[in-house]
Amino acid sequence: MSKDVKDYLHLLDKPLDEFEAPGARNSTLGEDALWHVLYSLGQDNTYLNKRKAYWGLVLAVRDRMLEKWTAVQRKYYANDDKRLYYLSLEFLPGKFLRGNLLALGLENEAHEFLHEHDLSLDEIVDEECEPGLGNGGLGRLASCYMDSMATLGLPAYGYGIRYSYGLFRQEIRNGHQVEQPDNWLHEGSHWLIPRPHNLFPIRFYGTVNEWLDDDGMLRHDWRGGDLVMAMANDMYVPGYRNGHVNSIRLWEARPHKEFVLSSFNAGDYIGSVQEKISDENISMVLYPSDDAPEGKTLRLKQQYFFVAATMRDMVRRFKKLNKPWDQLPEKNVVQLNETHPAIAIPELMRMLLDEELLGWEEAWCICQKLFAYTNHTILPEALETWPVKLIERLLPRHMQIIYEINRRFLEEVRLHFRDEPELPSRVSLISAGPEQRVRMSHLAIVGSFSVNGVSSLHTQILKDRVFHDFIRIFPDRFNNKTNGITPRRWLRQCNVPLSWLLSEHLGCNWITDLTQLKKLRELVDDVEFRHDWEQCRLTNKKRLADYIEKVNGITVNPHSIFDVQVKRFHEYKRQLLNILHIISLYNNIRRNPDVKMQPCTFIFGGKAAPSYQMAKDIIYLINCVARRVNSDPHTRNFLKVIFLANYNVSLAQLLVPATDVSEQISTAGYEASGTGNMKFALNGALTIGTRDGANIEIGERVGDGNIYLFGLCEKEVLALRRRGYDPWEFYKNDSELREVLDMINSDQFTPGDSTAFSSIFNSLLTGGDPFMVLADYRAYVETHKRISHEYVDRDLWIKKSIMNTAGMGYFSSDRAVKEYIDGIWSLEPDV
């Protein structure tokens, strides 16, 4: 384990010559990097610093990706491939350099080059800034899928927005979250290639003109309003050592015209520039709310902007093939990642009807064969709707088309369900009420040939509850595709020690066939193997401890249990349950100073939406408890509480391999799948979790004895709510819990201020505890006691840890993408 990284890389991965095109290059990566420092960056390359080395390397790597990408694109045309368009308002790729070097087999060359210049890859990667073009799970899933699509050699494109500002950077000041802008492009990014020639005008507002064509058909023409230009920026996604490179096209808003001449001539210089600035605003910033749609006009503009440009791009490529329109769905498939891009359905209808002059039936038939929709949430407040009035104003033609889709759909429903007069209003695309709204999920369901959930339980809930009416109308349309994660980033890249151990014992094929990990089950009784396993974990924990020391200034014991909950802050994810338990532990240790207890380090990370006050209060509570616990001489050898600021993909890569206990404790029935849960278990952490989302499937695969499931299941949550849930009962009957809650409702953690957390106390009691934190409290505490007890039995724990990794092969995004290929996309890999 003490060898230099570069000495053992060859053990880890597939050799280069399996995929590299012969004679592709006769210069080394280092030579090309130096060339770029001089000729692309315009800087002196006779000496290098970290910045120059980083950007030089980026450009040299990019050259190699571009060569492969171009060859791959030509192949798509030559083979007349069917193409996948994956539309997502969010992507969270994480840092690029290490992953791209790994995929392209260039890690050794990079190490050698940097070594020659007294630099290391680690310090270079520290320089890299991470694009935060997403909020959390949904965006990260999109990036995992892009990685798998490239690795499987699929003719696929990601499409999204090139936000100038990604998700805010989180700072913690005096325990509170403070949001700072994330200007990730402040020095540009050579990972993105701007393509000024891929430019489309996108219209907003305006009016719809009706006219009769020569055959007497009523035609429509949308004109006037504002035009904004959508300009392409491509980001490249190399497959793992297969010579395949795909791209994610991110649209950037550009002004349609430089200045409004009339106001410019009138001397209103600032006014005319202002207009240009407001056009660019569309792609300026990512909306920072997770699981809660932003009902703002700009958000709808963003959705239409990227979708309209993407549909244009797809149609542009299709037209090159000179095929009839009915072959559009034979040659393309569009996957909608949530309803954010669902406006693509009326947009394509508009293009086919108004620009290509197809008839309604023909156009609708094409759309229904082309689109597929993935649902990611069942939180009622997160199901997206838009006011009819807003759509009417912003996209007048689309509102007409939505009305017509709805009219025809409801006519069919009335015809087939004559004795259910209530059904049409329940499934209508437009909700009744004082303010009519378009239900985007209904639009997506009606306009797609496939609707999928992202874990077994989630899909079942969609069928049983959320979209129950639609199951009867479209019985074949619904299916499940349990989420997955890419083993390249979430094991090979983030956990080099364990990857090495795995490749030594299993060979390196696990990197592209994660089911190979099941062979680890044969090694659990091998004492030496278990010892090596534990050493790998300890190495990772020490690395994390160093980071915590450096960033938070707190020393943590790497032999303590690292218990981690990192994810967005949301009441349903129940970070509160976690901190309530920590407070009770704290009380117990103070009461029994001689307690024999395994030291524990509780680590939190995650951002709260800036407008979500309760989530921010919970962050503040955690930080206040941390301050008290970490400074208490009675407890600090047993208990540490750490909040790591600005949780992002890079921080996840540091945390995941160092975690002993993974907290996945959402109220059952609320988390659609989760993918964090998969990352931790894959790296050998044991999960404490509710029977929610993919936790259930993880349990089935790692085995009951190797996961700590607790608390109410989804049906019990519903039943308790129906019976009438009274959190006061739990308060009255559990003295330990009562003590904890009373502390929160006092100035114990905020001396002199006894109301700092009254919002939390009230929500849990008078507010009815909507996420049933108190109902699950006792089961959670008892399960933690078991964990603490079992952790001490190192043989037992390490066996369980190995069994977790061994059971996680199913959760590879390669498997998930293959299921999408077979069940939805009908695509052929082109490798």
Q: Give the residue numbers annotated as catalytic, written as ranges.
A: 376, 567-568, 573, 675, 679
- Residue nearer to ligand IMP on the CB measure, 134 or 155: 155
Collapsing DSSP to helix, strand or coil, 276 comes out as helix
Q: What minimum distance in Å lies between the beta carbon of 72 and ligand IMP?
A: 9
Q: What minimum distance in Å lies between the beta carbon of 134 and ligand IMP?
A: 24
Q: Distance between CA 203 and CA 205 in Å, rounded? A: 7
Q: What minimum distance in Å lies between the beta carbon of 332 and ligand IMP?
A: 12
Q: What minimum distance in Å lies between the beta carbon of 601 and ligand IMP?
A: 50
- Residue nearer to ligand IMP on the CB measure, 38 or 66: 66
Which neighbouring-strand residues pair with 566?
Answer: 605
Collapsing DSSP to helix, strand or coil, 487 comes out as helix
Strand runs labelled E in 675-807: 686-689, 708-709
Q: What is the CA radius of gyration of the chain?
A: 27
Q: What minimum distance in Å lies between the beta carbon of 320 and ligand IMP?
A: 5
- Residue nearer to ligand IMP on the CB measure, 183 or 327: 327
Query: Residue 711 to residues 66, 384, 625, 733: CA-CA distances in angstroms?
Result: 51, 30, 24, 17
Query: Residue 769 to residues 669, 730, 777: CA-CA distances in angstroms?
Result: 15, 11, 12
What is 185-252 written as a DSSP string?
TTT--TTEEEEEEEEEEEEES-EEEEEE-TTS-EEEEEE-SEEEEEEEEEEEEE-SSSS-EEEEEEEE
- Residue nearer to ligand IMP on the CB measure, 74 or 414: 74
Nearest to 373 by CA among 468, 443, 277, 278: 443
Query: Residue 147 to residues 340, 607, 770: CA-CA distances in angstroms?
Result: 22, 25, 38
- Residue nearer to ligand IMP on the CB measure, 67 or 534: 67
Query: Residue 248 to residues 160, 282, 300, 438: CA-CA distances in angstroms?
Result: 7, 19, 21, 29
**Which residues are within 8 A (CB) of 373 and not within 5 positions of it... i.e. 6 or more apart?**
335, 336, 339, 342, 444, 445, 448, 450, 451, 452
- Residue nearer to ligand IMP on the CB measure, 62 or 691: 62
Q: What minimum distance in Å lies between the beta carbon of 537 and ligand IMP?
A: 45
- Residue nearer to ligand IMP on the CB measure, 197 or 722: 197
Residue 444 burial class via C-beta count within 10 angstroms: exposed 0-12, middle 13-18, buried 19 and up: buried
The pair of structure tokens assigned to 442 is: 């209904």
Collapsing DSSP to helix, strand or coil, 155 comes out as coil
Q: Distance between CA 332 and CA 312 in Å, rounded? A: 13
- Residue nearer to ligand IMP on the CB measure, 155 or 329: 155
Residues that bind ligand IMP (CB under 6 A): 70, 73-74, 77, 317, 320
- Residue nearer to ligand IMP on the CB measure, 24 or 551: 24
Residue type, 180: Q
Tell me 685's DSSP state.
P
The pair of structure tokens assigned to 334 is: 């569009």
- Give the full edge-to-edge strand order of the sheet including 686-689: 639-644, 600-605, 561-566, 661-664, 686-689, 708-709
- Is residue 400 within 8 Å of 388, Cβ to Cβ? no
Tell me 452's DSSP state.
E
Which neighbouring-strand residues pair with 501?
Answer: none
- Residue nearer to ligand IMP on the CB measure, 20 or 67: 67
